[in-house]
């Protein structure tokens, strides 16, 4: 059974804190993604990675960074959390894009910044 696991379901952090969101996949997928999901908006891509140590900015990278030291793990970092980063964060993985197969999502992390 394929699995994408995010380290936390719920997080509450203070403004200015450094926040780490971890994601691990067990499918040996090349691609990994971080999205945020807000009411009334589609999934918005923050960053993605198509290989170890590779990263690409998505549509809304400001205020975020990522790390992919191992193929199975993709971390999202909020350098200095702000209240407008309160959101649901979804990690996903997929095999090579050209294969046109679906992405698999983690359960999501609901982050509240106070």
Partner 1 sequence: GQNIDQPTEMTATEGAIVQINCTYQTSGFNGLFWYQQHAGEAPTFLSYNVLDGLEEKGRFSSFLSRSKGYSYLLLKELQMKDSASYLCAVLDSNYQLIWGAGTKLIIKP
Stretch that binds partner 1, among 19-27, 67-75, 78-86, 96-104 (CB under 8 A): 96-104
Stretch that binds partner 1, among 17-25, 42-50, 60-68, 77-85 (CB under 8 A): 42-50
Site for partner 1 contains 97 (CB under 8 A) = yes
CB atoms within 10 A of CB 59: 12
Site for partner 1 (CB under 8 A): how many residues? 19
Site for partner 1 contains 28 (CB under 8 A) = no
In the complex, the residues that contact partner 1 under the rule CB under 8 A are: 4, 40-45, 90, 97-98, 100-108
């Amino acid at each position: 059974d394929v699995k994408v696991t995010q380290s936390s379901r719920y997080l509450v952090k203070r403004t200015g804190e450094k926040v780490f969101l971890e994601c691990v996949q067990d499918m040996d997928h090349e691609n990994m993604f971080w999205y945020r999901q807000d009411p009334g908006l589609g999934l918005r891509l923050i960053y993605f990675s198509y290989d170890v140590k590779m990263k690409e900015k998505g549509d809304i990278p400001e205020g975020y960074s990522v790390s992919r030291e191992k193929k199975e793990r993709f971390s999202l970092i909020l350098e200095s959390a702000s209240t407008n980063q309160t959101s649901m964060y979804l990690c996903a993985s997929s095999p090579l894009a050209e294969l046109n197969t679906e992405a698999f999502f983690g359960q999501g992390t609901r982050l509240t910044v106070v």
